Structure 1
């Protein structure tokens, strides 16, 4: 078991020293950093990639705040999933403070908080899926009333039988929520810009 620290600042004008001073008291065994790199994407974040390759089961990753890992919700979910899969645990000091902890809880407490965060994320995602499905059903009903419904269902939709098609639908929705350009979404997911546009229109974005 190792205590790992990850630090990031978005511009060269900012210093990592403040984060280092905060994290230094947690008996850190291994340090990783990205100096002057934006958290909007994972591009160019060599420190993050090295940290994700290094971590093992029962390691603890200390960050001064969750947004040091990622500013983009999609990336944050992907990074969190990779960390969880490896059996490591993130220790977000800002969240600890928000929850009223004056000291970082013991290992069992840290794992409980991290696991609960993942449960909340999954619950939120499921509620969003249900909401998307409800909105689609309402859209079909409205289209039928207006005589515009043709009867064929789109390939990418929240209730698609094909798991890949369903996942692509929700990935598009996630990226739309964070105002990612349509062409960029299409390129990343391997679909056309027009398909992204249609999903956006059906979801009433």
Structure 2
């Protein structure tokens, strides 16, 4: 494989995905590097055990390599990996019976990451609004918290969110509508909802 083909791979996740499907280990390694922290942060919503999370991510990429010949081309690498790590964690919890009670995702009510998001918060929202947002989101159901996280903090589309959560498109649309309505009613005076919607995908 010539070097000219590898050059754009570092900047194009879909290109990396195709290389990986063709048997390029370096491409899979680059995908793991790009998505490790993102997957880890999402996995934390389902487990507070860092070693367990790391094992699940490692297991995910090992499975991907083993099954690469049967994996189809994907429209969204991010959505595919989110769904895959979600399923891997739930499967591992069930197999190992790691917890005595059924797993319940624990979605942090302030899921934004350090760096650019800290600047975003500082510039756009006062501290009291962050506190209020935390309280408002904490009142939502776990599924509502997950849909807010995937749609607005990860920027996934409704279709991608539906695939990740294992729900129908219409079910996610309805859930999203009810969730945003509840947020609006709970926090109609802050203007946060319009600000949040300005960052969301249309579909």
Q: Would you call these one fold, judging by a TM-score over 0.5?
A: no
**Greater C-alpha radius of gyration:** 1
Structure that is richer in strand per residue? 1
TM-score (norm 1): 0.30
Structure that is richer in helix per residue? 2
TM-score (norm 2): 0.30
